[in-house]
Amino acid sequence: MSLDVSRANDQAVARVRELLNKDPKAALSEAEEVLEQTPHHLELLFLKGVAHHRIAEYQQALVTFEHVLKTNDAITEAHFQLALSQASLKLMGPAVASLRRVISLEPLHRSAWRVLSEILSIEGDFDAASEAQLRHIEASASNPKLREAGAAMIRNDIPRAERLLKSYLKAVPTDVAAMRMLAEVAVRVGRDSDAEKLLSRCLSLAPKFSGARYNYAVLMHRMNKPAEALAQVEALLLEDPEKPSYRNLIAVILSRIGEYERSSDYYESLVDDYPDNPKIWLSYAHVLKTEGKRSECEAAYRRAIALQPNFGEAFWSLANLKTFRFEEDDINTMRQSVLDAGTELNSRVQFHFALGKAAEDAGDHEQCFEHYSQGNELHASTLNYSAEKNTRRMLRMKSSFTREFFDQRASLGCQDPSPIFIVGMPRAGSTLLEQILSSHSKVEGTTELPDIVTLARELRERSDEKEIGSYDNVLASLNASELAELGETYLARTKIHRKTEKPFFIDKMPNNFLHIALIAVTLPNAKIIDARRHPLACCFSNFKQYFAQGQSFSYSLSDMGSFYRDYVELMAHYDRGLPGKVHRVIYEEMVADTETQIRRMLDHCGLDFEPECLRFFENDRPVRTASSEQVRQPIYSDAIAQWKPFEVHLNPLKEALGSVLKTYPSAPSFDP
């Protein structure tokens, strides 16, 4: 190339760069004119792609950047601009891949981390989004101490990061970026309350700091404070109503609080804007399922699978409809995905559970149990559950929450009678009981509310001990006004889940059986119902179930038997310490004599019998749990004996259950 041509090209590049900010169309024309003479000039090709992007010609921009990268794959900014064009075309998977390439070439590319965080937030992957946001902060920090703290966090050297940030904030106490980073440190080590205070302080100093407000909204959501989370994300949407990460977060929060129609509307707009994003289709399908829109729900799950054929969660979600049946092509796809070394562990687990369900429907009990076993074993390998710790918690509660403990506090607490708690093991019929009770004109069904568990966690944070269940000493120290305040706090937090003026509402979080003592002394007029099912039927049903979160005991037959035994022992203790407080409904008796059992349950709740309770399956209220499709049918007896074809495999479960199995439905004598 002659010196004159080279000089002319340099001048053309300078002109195009200058025009890009003033008139991108003119910049495009200039670049195209020069490229007719020098079609392989990479810098001009790159600038041509930027010009296309700035005038919203995203497809042309994408093609141009791909052309540049075919010639030289190591141009960082070409990968970044390609990612922006892909994101503008709603091609989120390719955009993430392009951003990962940018970061591999330039680990501290702050814009790449920022955009990656936004895309991951759209997909609802809040943990990964938070990590990307942290990397963005580290890359953006101008202060060496903040950069060092960010680097320590990325290495997961949390103690060093905390020391650096606290030292820095002593010298500069109003640096909101440092506060936000320290809040992330607090979240990493499980000190959510500290993170809450830091982010609140951060926003009081910088109300327009949208990044901190978004972190605060996500934190409130995780801390089971949906009212606060909703207020924060609504404030963000006032500033930027179209931002997809905000729209996705509010859809998640609205679903949590039972605003399913509004949640569905947000998801519908998101899938319209991002039709090729399988995770958004999955979330949309979940809400449609809750609303009882079966055909639309299945179609949305199918759309997610079409976009990502190895999407284990989408296949398991179809299986989790319970009444759904897979086609042969589905089964072949799942079998191939299980064998594919590239399938992620979590998807592999869910494929095994879905294949187990498919084999059970086909009557292949050996293949069915093999898949359930593999799925459970794989998932258990990711957990840190200890049956011994759970037994210690149960024994501690028995020791602390005695008849004398309850007698001393008999007239204390918040006297409001509105809550009806349905407790017990998961998969024991609690959703059926909720559906029956919510068919009564005076009772509102909600869902599995997390608020009692949250109160228990907050009490435990005030204890010097860290063992699970170690809030007994704190609860015992509370005076009359403090106990009443706890009950009132529960009612205030659950108010957001109530949509009617009915005098009673249901909280069907099954794990609340662990917190009967807390309920009894803070809400003494609340009603408690224990849903109980045959131990083999109940535990095997749990063994077949992949839970979205929690229930870590359920991925081993022996752990499950131990947990069920602990549950029966603890409830027997409360039967003695709180006589008549808990009404027990035996699932098999409900199936055999439905009206009698319904009348007894209503009597316990102080409610008159209403025939609508017998026609609970006509109730079109939203249902979120795994039994959502089953409770929209009349009571049937099929589930009672579903465990029997698998009995040969259940010896570890039987051994762990011990005398609890032999004496069912009564409890054995536990005390020496």
C-alpha 523/C-alpha 116 separation (Å) is: 46
Residue 586 belongs to a domain: yes
The answer to whether residue 504 sits within a structural domain is: yes
* Domain identity same for 80 and 151: yes
Are 228 and 128 within one domain?
no
Domain, as residue range, for 430: 416-663
The whole-angstrom separation of Cα 468 and Cα 380 is: 19
Q: What is the pLDDT of residue 236?
A: 96
Tell whether 193 and 262 lie within a shared domain.
no
**What is the pLDDT, as a whole number, of residue 122?**
82
Residue ending a domain, choose from 262, 289, 308: 308
Any domain includes 329: no
What is the number of residues in the chain? 672
Residue given tokens 């949305």 in the structure block: 300
Which single residue is written with the structure tokens 């995203």?
58
**Is 223 found in the same domain as 208?**
no
One domain, residues 528 and 600: yes
In DSSP notation, 237-277 reads HHH-TT-HHHHHHHHHHHHHTT-HHHHHHHHHHHHHH-TT-
Q: Give the residue ranges of the chain where pLDDT is below 50.
A: 1-5, 626-628, 632
Distances (CA, A) of 532 to 4, 430, 665: 88, 8, 8
- Residues 205 and 245 both lie in one domain: no
Rounded (10°) CA dihedral 482, 486, 491, 497: 160
Residue 227 and residue 143 share a domain: no
Whether 349 is in a domain gets the answer no
Same-domain pairing of 490 and 442: yes
Residue 361 lies in a domain: no
Q: Are 63 and 81 in contact (CB under 8 A)?
A: no
Same domain, 198 and 250: no
CATH number of the structural domain spanning residue 529: 3.40.50.300
Same domain, 447 and 465: yes
Question: Do residues 197 and 300 share a domain?
Answer: no
Q: Give Cβ neighbours of residue 299 (< 8 Å, ≥ 6 apart).
A: none
Number of domains in the chain: 3
Q: What pLDDT score was predicted for residue 503?
A: 97
pLDDT at 1: 42
Q: Of 346, 288, 353, 285, nearest to 316 (Cα)?
A: 353
Which pLDDT does position 99 carry in this prediction? 94
pLDDT at 622: 59
Q: What is the DSSP letter of 442?
A: T
List % helix, strand, coil for the chain (3-state, nearest 5).
Answer: 70, 5, 30
For residue 399, being part of any structural domain is answered with no
> Of 279, 308, 337, which marks where a domain is finished?
308
Instruction: Report d(CA 411, CA 414) in Å as an integer.
Output: 9
Instruction: Judge whether 68 lies within some domain.
Output: yes
- The pLDDT of residue 128 is 82
356 to 98, 264, 330, 379: CA distances (angstroms): 37, 30, 13, 15
Based on the domain organization, do 48 and 76 belong to the same domain? Answer: yes
Say which residue the tokens 């465990």 belong to: 643
What is residue 626's predicted lDDT score, i.e. its pLDDT? 47
Query: Among the three residues 214, 248, 269, which one is the final residue of a domain in this structure?
Result: 214
CATH code assigned at 178 = 1.25.40.10
pLDDT reported for residue 491: 97
608 within a domain of the structure (yes/no): yes
